Amino acid sequence: MGFRSVVVDSLFIILFATSLTNSSSERTSQRRLHRLRYRGGRAKRQRRNTPPVLTACMGIYPDYSGTLKPEGRVSMVFRNHDSKKFVIYYHLTGLSTSCRDCGIHVHEGISCATDTGPHHWDSSRMSDPWNPEMGAVYNSYNGIAWRHYHLNSGYNMDENEGRTITIYDQDGSQIGCGVLTRGIFNCG
């Protein structure tokens, strides 16, 4: 993944998170996301109204022994910290040359060292949203996938933080894994 695409992707996520706020005063606060406050000649970053974003740096799934080497970033952007609706943005490389409607889902697991477990959603409120019919998929071209989709899993940002994102190949095998961490950052 090139530096330029990572920077553009990061800026797009920040701008999207900013645009999701409801009032003009919230938008104004979001524009002032990273203020510098000077104390004793040193700059300190003050985060006010930080965007509700979780990011996972992707790597190879535990026990995957194939030839693919998935890597990149997946971000979940929520409307606010309590919202259960979110947008998943992904920028991935090292995938199959052409993978159509392949899965990219949040799982119950909290580590990529072992199996990530079943899909993560509030089963008391809905059926499993992590399926192609709900749009929880990616399409790769020449081993690269870079898009987004909207979803509601019944869980808010705090309930998704620390869970794993799993990438599937066309045959349904799990090939990639990453742990969702609070914030926006570059991977790799």
Per-residue pLDDT tens for 63-73? Answer: 999 999 999 99
CATH number at residue 131: 2.60.40.200
What confidence score (pLDDT) does residue 9 get? 53
- Tally the residues of the chain: 188
Helix residue ranges, H only, 52-183: 157-160
Tell whether 143 is covered by a domain: yes
Tell whether 30 is covered by a domain: no
CA–CA–CA angle 57, 55, 81 (5° rounding): 165
Per-residue pLDDT tens for 145-167? Answer: 999 999 999 999 999 999 999 99
CA dihedral 132, 18, 156, 92 (to 10 degrees): 40
**Residue 188 in this model has a pLDDT that exceeds 80:** no
What confidence score (pLDDT) does residue 31 get? 37
Least confident residue range of 29-43, 53-67, 94-108, 164-178: 29-43
Tell whether 134 is covered by a domain: yes
Q: Give the closest residue to 150 by CA, choosing from 77, 101, 91, 73.
A: 77
For the entire predicted model, the pTM comes to 0.76
Tell whether 58 is covered by a domain: yes
Q: What would the mean pLDDT of 57-61 be, rounded to a whole number?
A: 97
Residue 129, classed as helix, strand or coil, is coil
Confidence band, pLDDT 50/70/90 cuts, at residue 51: confident
Confidence band, pLDDT 50/70/90 cuts, at residue 3: very low
Tell whether 17 is covered by a domain: no
Could you please report the per-residue DSSP string of 9-77? HHHHHHHHHHHT-SSHHHHHHHHT-EEEEEETTEEEEEESS---EEEEEEEEPTT--SS---EEEEEEE
Q: What would the mean pLDDT of 35-44 be, rounded to a whole number?
A: 34
**Residue 49 in this model has a pLDDT that exceeds 70:** no
What confidence score (pLDDT) does residue 116 get? 97
Tally of domains in the chain: 1
Tell whether 35 is covered by a domain: no
What whole-number percentage of the chain has pLDDT above 70?
74
Tell whether 6 is covered by a domain: no
Tell whether 26 is covered by a domain: no
Residue 6, classed as helix, strand or coil, is helix
What whole-number percentage of the chain has pLDDT above 90?
72
